[in-house]
Amino acid sequence: MAQQRNRPLSAAQAARFTAAMALLRAGRAAEAVAQAQSLVVDAPAAADARQLLAMCAAEEGNPALAEAEFRQALALAPDAPVIVLNFAAWLRRVGRVQECVRLLEQGPAGLDIELQLGLACLQLGEQRRARAAFEAVLARQADHPVAWKGLGVALRELGEGEAAVDAFANATRLAPSDAAGWINPGAALRLLGRSGEALDCLRRAEA
């Protein structure tokens, strides 16, 4: 049997998609699910409709339906980064982090995919894979504070304290108003015995 191809939503269907998304954002998940299911009936080969139903089901607390619809959406549009990212975020949210990592590794190349891969690998304690992912992000966008922060965490856990401090310095330089971002360099500096600098960072975190 030939694989079903993704079909875009018509203008009228896109308006229904928007209405369901508004319900979802308003916290009216059950109503959003009903509208998304109706849209899927009318547009079964539209990856956007399938993904919408998956997200609505996830918010309503129906993991079986969420997973089934994410997989349908992915089968229709396997190279769509937004579907991979949303499915991966849901897998991570429900504690299926290994599956999240596998999905991201098999997904299309891209900065956001690599960033989420790095964060998921950190969660698994797989620091070398996390480091490689964050370095891939920074090779594309050197001024990405979240990637520098993630790289710093990976380097610190790998025992590369000085390199971790440098990575955290880049993160705080790019996002100085992120108070929580000063905690990591403070911890790294303390491990290196640089107590005065560590204290300065912790003061910035509390400011």
Question: How many Cα atoms are found within 13 Å in the side-chain-facing hemisphere of 184?
Answer: 27
Record the pTM: 0.87
Cα 190 to chain centroid, rounded: 30
With beta carbons less than 8 A apart as the criterion, state whether 153 and 131 touch.
no
* Nearest-angstrom CA–CA distance, 73 and 10: 17
Structure-block tokens of residue 124: 């698994």
Instruction: Read off the pLDDT of residues 94-120 as tens digits, 9 standing for 90 and up.
Output: 999 999 999 999 999 999 999 999 999
| Cβ contacts of 4 within 8 Å, gap of 6 or more | 45, 75, 76
Q: What is the mean pLDDT of the chain?
A: 92
> Which amino acid makes up residue 165?
V
Residue 198's alpha-carbon distances to 14, 72, 152, 178, 187, in angstroms, are 52, 49, 15, 16, 7
pLDDT (0 to 100) of residue 185? 75
pLDDT band for position 5 (cuts 50, 70, 90): confident
Cβ atoms of 134 and 118 closer than 8 Å: yes
Tokens of 80: 């769509």
